[in-house]
Structure 1
Amino acid sequence: MKISNKILVWFLVVQFFTVSTSFAQVVEPELPTKNIETQPQAIQDKIPTNQPQLSIIEKLFNTIPADNQIIEQFGYEIFENGVGSTSARIPSGYKLRIGDRVNVYFWGDTIDILSMAGSPVVQPSIDVIVDKEGNLFIPGVGLIPAKDKTVNNVEQQVYSLLSSKFNGFKVKVTVYEPGNFPVMVMGNIKKPGVVYLNSSSSLIDAVSLAGGVTKEGSLREIVYINGANKSRLTLDLYDLLIKGQQKNISLKEGDVILVKPIGKVVSLSEGVKKPAIYEFKSGESLQTLISMAGGLLPSINSKNVQVESFDKASNQKITRDVNDFELGKIYPNDGDSLAFKSAYNVSENIVTIEGNVKHPGSFQYKNGMKLSNILKTQDELLTKTFVYQAVIERIDGVEKEITTISVSLVDFFNGIIDPELAPQDKVKIYPNTKMQNIEISGYISNPCIIPYVDNMALKDLIATVDFEVPSEVNYVDSRIVGNMRKVNINNIVAEITSKNSDNVKTVYLYELLTRNNNAYNVNLAAGDRVLFRPVSDKEALRTVKILGYVKSPGVYKVRPGLKISNAIEMAGGLTEEAYMKGLIFNRSGIAQQQQLIQEESLLKLKEDLALKINKMQNLDKNALTTDAKQFEDNQEELINIKDNKFKENQGRIAINIKDNKITESDDLEVKDGDEIFIPSTPQHINVIGEVHNQSAIAYYPTKTVKYYIDNVGGLTKQAKKSEIYVIKANGTSVKAKKLSALTLDPGDAIIVPRKIGLPINWTSITKDVFQTMVNSMSAIFMISRF
């Protein structure tokens, strides 16, 4: 009978499980609909490499592609790899959402679970979904509130409901598949609109589902807007693409992602490890951009950097060269194209012969190689060769300068000379064409006639000469070598006379070679005569130091007649931070004169002080000693302050500025040794002297002298209000007659002088006078009695 009862119980259990399962399938809530086919494509179709479809930005930099190399915008391919996996690990503390699919597991002692015959039982594993009301329906348990609850919260609720019916069991709840929720993706997106994400989706996934960022959109300014509190966070995808750094953002229903338009762009097309078009922010230098592109290639010499810019005014591209020290100080313009070129494009272990020879070409260099090893007989020359001079161009020194060696082919073939060659030497043989020569003379070691070649310019000619003068000539900035004196090339002038005219073109080599001003690289013509001579005293260059907030600070050599404004333009002009009203212009000659005047002034002040102290002591040697000492100390302090203030401005000439420009009368001609400093715009006013709290106060455009004095506690009793004055940022002084009327400029200083009257102790003096009178009256009284 017991066996029959057990069989009956097991039969009822099996039937109950079957019924429960069927019931669960019937009452299961409706799932949120999700049409996969209507979702935005996660992977873009890649552009065929043979027919690239360029964006507007890419077309700007690919007008003349070299070697069919297309420069593309950096980083946009990140959206071609689709969305992340939905099976990512659910973070701890995850709160359930509508549509989440969860698994509920039960296990324990079966006898305990079935101990109460007829009681509802549960399945060992149940797959359920959070319905639209935010509930979980678990067969055998009932409805459980789940929305915004953690998995642990749900486990505790299930256990609490079943523990009153069963013993010896355990519950485990896990998220099997997170549900989807809507997020808005807007801005410069290929398919803007709503995308559906889950809890494991990232911002990249959201943008990818919307088709990715268009190439007119920014990768460096993507704005995340929190749907709950409307807070904003700007993301820079370059942090992820270049540094591997990513901000963890937990996307939620109602969030918005906004892609801003692309910012400034620059092309790094050559010499870097990752050529591309990069988006950059204000304040990022060329050095920063090189780092973005993975750095320079090992073969690149950073001292030879070519920057190509687009000039909107002339509608042309212009180029300039910069060195490696300037890379961190130069900031590109929007649309710049940068190419980093190697110093030399040839192998270092070869020599080359070219020009009027039958077999021009390159030869492997060997130690001890001479010209005769590559030019063996006259038969190797073509007809009409200019045999009186060939040229060997040589790369020499640490700075890799090109020097030239003149060779007479007549002497060479006669066995008189056979110059030794060096790696990278280039031997040039010229044709002998009638009237196609240029005559070179003057202060050079090798006056000669050289062949003219097409498009020859002054720089080409300079490469063939050494500048020297006879040693007996007393020439500044030179050194004696043998019986000749080597001359600084910056102090040389080239005078060019054409064969059919007596007109002379004058070119200062400092402008051409040091300042690299190609406007001075004049084209030569056949028959021209070039004379090199020293700069005369009247033409002598002047050294001017231009520092501060100019685009290219440094020491410049300038010609007579150059004004202060011209010198600032020479240094590239002002930066955005420059404060022209605070211009400091120092001149050493003025400093010496000012020093003599200051010494005389200080001596007179000290003499006046000694006289005043002497007068004080004559009034009362005992009673006024302390006051006199205090007065003397105060006056000494004032004299020292005045002296220190003078030293700060020693040599300065005050320059008046109007509308951010130097007035015509103050635009002085610069002299040798002058210094120009442009400060940044200050944000304060200094208040110095007899005020309760000497300090600097934030500048306000409409505030007067009175406002700033009041903000440092006002005047002291020793202040001489009638003598308050203002030192302007340009060095001039203005007396503040009405404190409430005079407005200031940034960087001005308010000076409150001390009263200089003699401090007299009237109490002591009155006492002494009274005592004297009493004594006198007593004496008169005594006399009258006799």
Structure 2
Amino acid sequence: MGTLNADNLSSVTSEQISDQDLNTYYQKAKASNVSDAQIEQLLRARGMAVGEIGKIMQRLKGLGGIANLTVNAKPDTKQNNTTRKQAPTKEILAEVELDSLEQMIYGMELFTNPSLSFEPDLQIATPLDYVVGPGDVLSVIIYGQSEASYNLKVSPEGNVFIQNAGIINVNGLTIAEADQKIRAHLAKTIYRAINSGFTQVKTTLGGIRTIKVIVIGQARKPGVYSVSSFTTLFNLLYTCGGPSKNGSFRNIEVIRAGKRIAVADLYQFLHNGSTKANIRLTENDVVKINYYDKRIYLKGAFKRPGIYELTANENLQQTIDYAGGFIDSAYREQVRITEVAGKQKEIKTVVASNFNGFKPATGSTIEAEYVYARFKNRISAEGAFKRAGTYSVESASSLLKLVQLADGLREGAFTEKISISRLNAD
């Protein structure tokens, strides 16, 4: 099914939109005082075909959305001007447009798509670098010459207690370090056969604790979260809804004990599949989503038109790469850029050879045009040809060759005269 909130509606048809989605879209627009004509403009701006827009508007009438209009209807002169519904202001239209554009922010679909989930996997083997803390349960298995098992809950002080062996502090140790410490302690106390190798010890994580982490800054749902100790940065970002419309996807900090220990750039994951920044969180970690610094809007003949966040050193070619490049019917030789220049806007044309050297300014709109619907070498054979149609100049360099390519003339064709229309002077 399609959606009217998509960034590119050029391939969306009326039949792909459900009645429920259509009605929801219309009600949201009406709540912001957007007129029917302005709805049509928004759909057209996103590339929807004129015929499909007409079908959409007709369906809205059938659903009872659009009021039945009477041509040349006279205005109600009795209506009090103070109670008339005011036309939407430019600010309201800009807000509606921004709500729609929010869905065009590259990466936002990770957090708004209900079919995606980034819940932590609790069924995996315990990572050797997992740090033990209060609330964890350690499973200690003794096997070989002696056999026993213990489920040891880590106390608030970070200790575990084994009967006849005493207290062992494991707080802050990795699971591998805790295994070694417990083995050494048991070898000195109640399981001395460990030293000879006749008895073995294996320590694993039997139960995970809950930790509290904090999300601040430009998150959709900032706050304090209680999560499992297996939670990673990406898990938490999904839980908090990800960055807001003003939040950065490229400057997300993880702060531990007052020090910044990591900075995540989600574009590395979105574009390259890298999970290097997806670190495991610990108690009282702070995740700060900063404001974005630089954004541009790609529109037109790109594979994924939308809003992209750039770092200070990224150029136009890298921006186009984030969008997947040009579509097949794009004019690739240049793009048109609209920038904010003080109190006015400025238009620039950047040719393909300069894409790598041009750095777009924040707030820029970059538009790629489509190739013209015209041909440089087309000959049209029309009328009484057996195979009327279009042919290349190279294959039909003379009138005789064109007739031969078209399989000759039909029976009854008037052969005394032929009309030739030439668009080019040559």
With normalisation by structure 2, the TM-score equals 0.61
1:235 to 261, 264, 267: 264
Pick closer, same or farther for the CA change 1:62–1:100 going to 2, 3 Å.
Answer: farther
2:108 to 76, 88, 98: 76
Distance of 1:273 and 1:216 partners within structure 2: 24
Larger RCO (CA within 8 A; separation ≥ 6): 2
TM-superposed deviation, 1:249: 3.4
Which residue is equivalent to 2:136? 100
Distance of 1:352 and 1:197 partners within structure 2: 69
Please give the per-residue CA displacement for 1:677-709, whole angstroms capped at 9, x wherever unaligned: xxxxxxxxxxxxxxxxxxxxxxxxxxxxxxxxx
Which residue is equivalent to 2:389? 363
Pick closer, same or farther for the CA change 1:67–1:352 going to 2, 3 Å.
Answer: farther
C-alpha contact (below 8 Å) 1:86/1:201 kept by paired residues = no
TM-superposed deviation, 1:292: 1.4
Pick closer, same or farther for the CA change 1:281–1:155 going to 2, 3 Å.
Answer: same
Pick closer, same or farther for the CA change 1:145–1:283 going to 2, 3 Å.
Answer: closer
Which secondary structure does the structure 1 equivalent of 2:190 belong to?
helix
Distance of 2:192 and 2:353 partners within structure 1: 80
1:65 to 30, 43, 46: 46
TM-superposed deviation, 1:247: 2.9
Which residue is equivalent to 2:254? 224
C-alpha contact (below 8 Å) 1:226/1:232 kept by paired residues = yes
Query: In terms of Rg, which structure is larger?
Result: 1
Which residue is equivalent to 2:9? none
Which residue is equivalent to 2:158? 134
1:182 to 212, 220, 225: 212
Distance of 2:150 and 2:378 partners within structure 1: 80
TM-superposed deviation, 1:347: 6.4
Please give the per-residue CA displacement for 1:516-537, whole angstroms capped at 9, x wherever unaligned: xxxxxxxxxxxxxxxxxxxxxx
Distance of 2:43 and 2:150 partners within structure 1: 61
TM-superposed deviation, 1:65: 2.2
TM-superposed deviation, 1:330: 2.4
Q: Counterpart of 1:95 in structure 2: which amino acid?
A: V
Is 1:192 matched with 2:216? no
Distance of 1:65 and 1:297 partners within structure 2: 15
Unaligned stretches of 5+ residues in structure 1: 1-47, 114-122, 377-412, 420-425, 429-463, 467-786
* Seq. identity, %: 24
C-alpha contact (below 8 Å) 2:332/2:368 kept by paired residues = yes
C-alpha contact (below 8 Å) 1:89/1:200 kept by paired residues = no
Which residue is equivalent to 1:147? 171
Q: Counterpart of 1:91 in structure 2: which amino acid?
A: P
Is 1:257 matched with 2:287? yes
With normalisation by structure 1, the TM-score equals 0.35
C-alpha contact (below 8 Å) 2:186/2:192 kept by paired residues = no
Q: Counterpart of 2:390 in structure 1: which amino acid?
A: Q
Which secondary structure does the structure 2 equivalent of 1:288 belong to?
helix
Please give the per-residue CA displacement for 1:577-605, whole angstroms capped at 9, x wherever unaligned: xxxxxxxxxxxxxxxxxxxxxxxxxxxxx
Taking the TM superposition and a 5 Å limit, the aligned residue runs for 1:604-643 are none
Pick closer, same or farther for the CA change 1:156–1:198 going to 2, 3 Å.
Answer: farther
Distance of 1:198 and 1:152 partners within structure 2: 25
C-alpha contact (below 8 Å) 1:352/1:427 kept by paired residues = no
Which residue is equivalent to 1:629? none
C-alpha contact (below 8 Å) 1:353/1:427 kept by paired residues = no
Is 1:345 matched with 2:373? yes
Pick closer, same or farther for the CA change 1:342–1:211 going to 2, 3 Å.
Answer: closer
Which residue is equivalent to 2:200? 170
Distance of 1:282 and 1:107 partners within structure 2: 59
TM-superposed deviation, 1:264: 2.2
Q: Counterpart of 1:273 in structure 2: which amino acid?
A: K
Distance of 1:64 and 1:169 partners within structure 2: 74
Distance of 1:198 and 1:226 partners within structure 2: 17
Taking the TM superposition and a 5 Å limit, the aligned residue runs for 1:740-751 are none
Please give the per-residue CA displacement for 1:129-181, whole angstroms capped at 9, x wherever unaligned: 21223222335544432222322212222332213699953322111333222
Which secondary structure does the structure 1 equivalent of 2:287 belong to?
strand
Distance of 2:261 and 2:169 partners within structure 1: 32
Pick closer, same or farther for the CA change 1:365–1:322 going to 2, 3 Å.
Answer: same
Please give the per-residue CA displacement for 1:324-373, whole angstroms capped at 9, x wherever unaligned: 1122232223232223224333567744699xx9xxxx931153277897
Taking the TM superposition and a 5 Å limit, the aligned residue runs for 1:669-708 are none
Which secondary structure does the structure 2 equivalent of 1:267 belong to?
strand
Q: Counterpart of 1:144 in structure 2: which amino acid?
A: I
Q: Counterpart of 2:160 in structure 1: which amino acid?
A: L
Unaligned stretches of 5+ residues in structure 2: 1-19, 30-38, 54-99, 410-415
Distance of 1:125 and 1:232 partners within structure 2: 38
